[in-house]
Structure 1
């Protein structure tokens, strides 16, 4: 009987099938080339290597959203800052291969990654907050990463298996929009590493919720626990007069209604604050720059929950 790898894509033909690595279901699978060559009879050996590499990381979290432009990278950086402020050791892995923004958001653009006998060393934003991103490996911030799926999958595998994070309380993985190559690869590579779950980010309007619902379905199909949903840009707060306005109206009930329908937890809402956006553009920590802002207060409640 043909072996079906754990967390394989739907309709996987199995490693011993004549169609292994050749069907449309195989597209984007990290094992596609190996299966097609007939050289595999079990799971990717990198899965066990990754399990050992991340064995000293207590909690491993994905930040997901089926929709682009909802502020996923901003939310990831804010969560990293907030958890680090609580004296936790935090690592952030920027798995958005084609759009790495974490070096800029966290204020470490231009830094370089060093390699040693124990692997790649992440770049430290502060004493207990570190980052790994392909942005550190590019010659210029304007360089485009024009790669097909297998090469992106290989980069994610390399990040997960070769970065020396040391002992961490949290590893937060910032993913690109969608439910394709990078997401399938990350889920498969972490299948034995004790992935704790995903935090899903959305904005209130229906055009975003349409794609975010697909992300919830993706998590269900590949066995990723949804820890909760964060509604970003929930309200616009004027930095001068503090008046609150709905920039993205929740015409279908917003994240609250979606969470009720999908039976998942709404962790909280983050307002759209231009001052927070400016801090992220300039690589400054909004929690220390704007400690009493509505966005900082809302984030603290989300982290507490």
Structure 2
């Protein structure tokens, strides 16, 4: 029998967040499937409690962390360096202790699964409803994953709570847009399939734009003198790397969008009415659609984030 070291397995999962993101997605989907299979009615009170559970863990950690840190700071028997070391240790304990990491990891997955069960809508629902349900569960618990398992710098408790509230508002707005204008996806994918040549030309233009920005940043970095403008050189090199990363991610995004368009065109999934999620073929088609849509959205967000960050940093660097 092969013995599996649970601590090593947990470390591998946490150190590779994309594995954990995929696990959260699986929990979101299977929670929805179990809900349909057993015809469990939605319960928004339970959903709210489950949604607040991971955040309550974080707030409790913040309270304990601040209380213990204040005790250390008020201890007159310790030197300044000893106080700093202890405060850092208290903070790191929440993220590095294996028992806590195991508890948080399992809690996120279990609560995600339960939330998906009780947050679901009707037993017979549309593709838009299914997509929104899966995206809501995935997005919320993906954000909790980063909140609970990965250290935050600069006042982590306050930033974490503000970040969750801001993220929740943006998610709500985005999902309302998807719900109200879901037909736009049908139009968009039909346009792509009927104008393949235009899509290819537009894709090449976007990729060349990113590559050009990257080249310009690296070229400007090369003309700066090492002695006088070392800080500018470092910033422009980082900006060039951001533009290059954005170009690669944009290529990945365009491939995903094209694949999604081909899939929608040949599966006719956008023409479905009420969907029976328990049907094997429908279950596969819905998950392929949602997975491609989700990964393309993630790629778009990452790409735009790198480009916007690089542009603002470059402008600030040039004008300073």
Could you tell me the TM-score, scaled by structure 1's length?
0.23
Structure having the higher Rg: 2
Give the alignment's TM-score, normalised by structure 2.
0.23
The structure carrying a bigger helix percent of its residues is: 2
